[in-house]
Amino acid sequence: MITRQRLAAGTCALLATLALGGLSPAQAYADETDGPAPKVELVLDVSGSMRARDIDGGSRMAAAKQAFNEVLDATPEDVELGIRTLGANYHGDDRKTGCKDTAQLYPVGPLDRTEAKTAVATLQPTGWTPIGPALLKAADDLGSGDGTKRMVLISDGEDTCQPLDPCEVAREISAKGIGLTIDTLGLVADAKTREQLSCIADATGGTYTSVRHKDELTDRVGQLVDRAADPVVTPVAVDGAAQCADAPQLKPGLFTDREKFGEHRFYRVDVEPGKELRASVSVAADRAVNRDYGVLLRAVTTHGREIVRGQESGDGRTDVISTGLRYPKPELDDDSDSGASQAESVCLQVSNSYSAAASVKTTPGLPVELTVDVVDGPDSASDVASFGLGHGWWLLAALVVVGFLAGVLWGWISRWRIAVWRTN
């Protein structure tokens, strides 16, 4: 039995080494640790309304705590994370005092998961909702140095400390040019709260997401924390066209647009022979929409012939739908016409099947985030025919060889054990 366990462990270790390409964690993250560590601060509304029990049968506060615990466990090692609260400490009715109630629960820095979780566990819904003051303090927590800085605000209501308008505060923070992005999440928020949180996010190039379930909250906060560890890319605003012929020409990069319910928008990308087009799109439901919807991304020729497509659907529990595609353009043969050596103009069509009640505003359109990249293509025609595996054929071959050798070795050991047993 022990021999079998050791053999299985050795085989798994070998497979893991092959899958990682022989790279140690230090080598894999070497490029990411050269610059300043990315910083994230989670800003949590702990006002009295967070007691409401309308998220999967539990309180909003319980959902937030669960999300924080799971996100803290999954936070990348190279991310410096902090937590700030608003409305967590003052129990009284004095508005002036209540509107100063924001405190740093855990300082921005290397993460001690146990300490951070212990701090979160002590929170109880208490007071006011001073979003504006909390944003100002959180910006100070993150500082003004180089590196990615991201703030994630989670609230279930609009600010109760006017005239300090949180939207104006966000614009003020953006104007400082410190590279701080604010993402906002609304817990079953009403229309006014949704409008305010959307404005805060828009002012700094962030995103707003409406959350109605615990798993949604956990997933979205986790995505935003992970995004802080990614290289900083500034999105470029672009205006897609209603038809391919009028589509704007895009270079590799990150682009933002707005798309109406049920609309098709087109963008053009040039793909050289031997290159591969990779594109992905996300469409966000930043308002109440009907259940059952989808997003379609198609690569088509200028004459309308479909090359490849990607599609995804939702059922009313997901606020952001994403899909992507890959199109490798084969290298030309030596006998090919010289005219064919020109880059192929490919149109990307983004479509959605969202709908909403008549009372929901359709303008502006839904937020669209489009990523475009053109990279070196597969090395052979066989790779092109099965590009879904990318450059993973070497790994597949290695796994086959390892499986064969492991089977032979295990068969030899089994025969030896039987022979020893018969001898005894």
> For residue 366, what are its two tokens?
């839904």
> Pairing state of beta strands 236-237 and 275-284?
unpaired
Residues 164 and 81 in one domain: yes
**Does residue 417 form part of some domain?**
no
CB atoms near residue 12 (< 10 Å): 11
Question: Could you tell me if 192 and 310 lie in one domain?
Answer: no
- What CATH number does the domain containing 78 carry? 3.40.50.410
Q: Let me know: does 311 contact 296? Beta carbons within 8 Å.
A: yes
Q: Are 60 and 139 part of one and the same domain?
A: yes
Sign of the Cα torsion 4, 9, 11, 12 reads: positive
Q: In what order do the strands lie in the sheet with 180-187?
A: 102-109, 80-86, 39-45, 149-155, 180-187, 208-211
Q: Is residue 185 a part of any domain in this protein? A: yes
- At 91, is the pLDDT very low, low, confident or very high (cuts 50, 70, 90)? confident
Do 55 and 216 meet the contact criterion of CB atoms below 8 Å apart? no
Q: Please check the confidence at residue 381 and state whether its pLDDT lies above 60.
A: no
pLDDT given at position 353: 94
Q: Are residues 189 and 279 in the same domain?
A: no
Helix, strand, coil percentages in the chain from 3-state DSSP, rounded to 5: 35, 30, 35
- What is the SS3 assignment for 240? coil
Q: 388-413: per-residue pLDDT in tens?
A: 344 444 555 666 666 667 776 776 77
Domain boundary among 369, 385, 401: 385
Give the pLDDT confidence score for residue 349 in this predicted structure.
97
Note the Cα 23 to chain centre separation in Å: 25
What is the predicted pLDDT for the residue at 385? 36
- The model's confidence at residue 386, banded by pLDDT at 50, 70 and 90, is very low
Region 192-198 average pLDDT: 88
Q: Is residue 188 part of a domain?
A: yes
Residues 221 and 140 grouped into a single domain = yes
324-342 pLDDT, tens digit per residue, is: 898 988 876 555 554 456 7
Which span out of 128-137, 277-286, 356-365, 388-397 was modeled with the highest average pLDDT?
128-137
Asked if residue 162 and residue 64 are part of one domain, the reply reads yes
Query: Per residue in 410-423, pLDDT tens?
Result: 767 766 666 666 66
Is the predicted pLDDT of residue 9 greater than 50, yes or no? Answer: no
User: CATH number for the domain including 346?
Assistant: 2.60.120.380
In a domain, 72, yes or no: yes
Q: What are phi and psi of 402, to 5 degrees?
A: -60, -40
Q: Looking at per-residue confidence, does 351 or 403 come out higher?
A: 351
Question: 56 and 81: one domain?
Answer: yes
177 or 397, greater pLDDT? 177
Residue 272 lies in a domain: yes
Is residue 395 situated within a structural domain?
Answer: no
C-beta separation of 266 from 241 below 8 A: yes
**Nearest-angstrom CA–CA distance, 414 and 282:** 53
| pLDDT tens column, 257-302 | 999 999 999 999 999 998 899 999 999 887 888 988 999 999 999 9
pTM for the model stands at 0.56
Please check whether residues 82 and 200 belong to one and the same domain: yes
Assess whether 301 and 213 both reside in one domain: no
* Structural domain containing residue 347: 236-385
Statement to judge: residues 342 and 242 lie in one domain: yes
- Closest to 3 in 3D by CA, of 416, 399, 402, 408: 416
Same-domain pairing of 264 and 207: no
- The tally of domains found in the chain comes to 2
Query: Does residue 379 surpass a pLDDT of 90?
Result: no
User: Are 218 and 240 within one domain?
Assistant: no
Mean pLDDT of 88-110: 91
Q: Are strands 39-45 and 80-86 parallel, antiparallel or unpaired?
A: parallel
Mean pLDDT across 59-66:
94
Position 8 in a domain: no
Domain endpoint, select from 228, 252, 281:
228
The DSSP line for 297-311 is EEEE-TTS-EEEEEE
Structure tokens at 89: 């400490």
* Residue 21 within a domain: no
Instruction: Return left, alpha or beta for 272; rule: phi > 0 is left, psi -120 to 50 is alpha, else beta.
Output: beta
Q: Which of 351, 367, 385 is the last residue of a domain?
A: 385
